[in-house]
Amino acid sequence: MKIIVKLFFILGIAFGGLGLLYSFSMLFALNGLGEIFEINEARSVKTEIIRDSTHIRILYSYKVEGKVYQDNYKMFVEYFEQCGIDTIVVKYNKYFPMVSFIDGVPLKIRQQKINMFLSTFFLVFLILVWKLSNRDKWIKTYEEVGNRPWLYPDDKTIKNSFRRLVNRLFKK
């Protein structure tokens, strides 16, 4: 049981760490931390706008050096109108052309900042629980759960299904 508790902790740390690393690298590639990379405007862009009553979805694809890249945005109609965009201009990172954004809509940078905050919060929560909790009590509790009566096999000699269930629940 100690191995299982430790495994869940390690998987949680790995999951949170990978989320933090991905969000930070995307924020870095989108120039969310300053003008680090050169950003170019995509020339051959195909866009499709799907609009319903509350959301707007912008699908776009662009070509860089013979490779086609595609991405999409989904946002509220009010937010799109608040950005005040007349024409959709797609910009991409010169060194990482798969990283792109629509000029004038800071949605991707904001999303990466939120993901970084959530990943950091998750990691801090896991570390605090691991450091401040009584792991031996957890292990004992989970071992007791493994001995619960509803996990005992059915007694096939009892024909009534209700009595068989009661016998299974209250077996000692």
Q: pLDDT band at 152, cuts 50/70/90? A: low
Q: How far apart are the first and last CA of the chain?
A: 23
What pLDDT sits at residue 81?
A: 86
The three-point CA angle 49-24-88 to 5° equals 20
DSSP string, 66-106: TEEEEEEEEEEHHHHHHHT-SS--EEEESSSTT-EEETT-T
Q: pLDDT band at 171, cuts 50/70/90? A: low
What pLDDT sits at residue 135?
A: 80
What pLDDT sits at residue 172?
A: 53
pTM for the full predicted model: 0.73
Q: pLDDT band at 155, cuts 50/70/90? A: confident
Q: Is the pLDDT of residue 156 over 70?
A: yes
- What average pLDDT does range 55-72 have in this prediction? 93
Q: Is the pLDDT of residue 113 over 90?
A: yes
Whole-number Cα distances in Å, 95 to 29, 30, 36, 81: 9, 11, 11, 31
What pLDDT sits at residue 146?
A: 58
Chain centre to alpha carbon of residue 165: 41
Are 55 and 76 within 8 A, CB to CB? yes
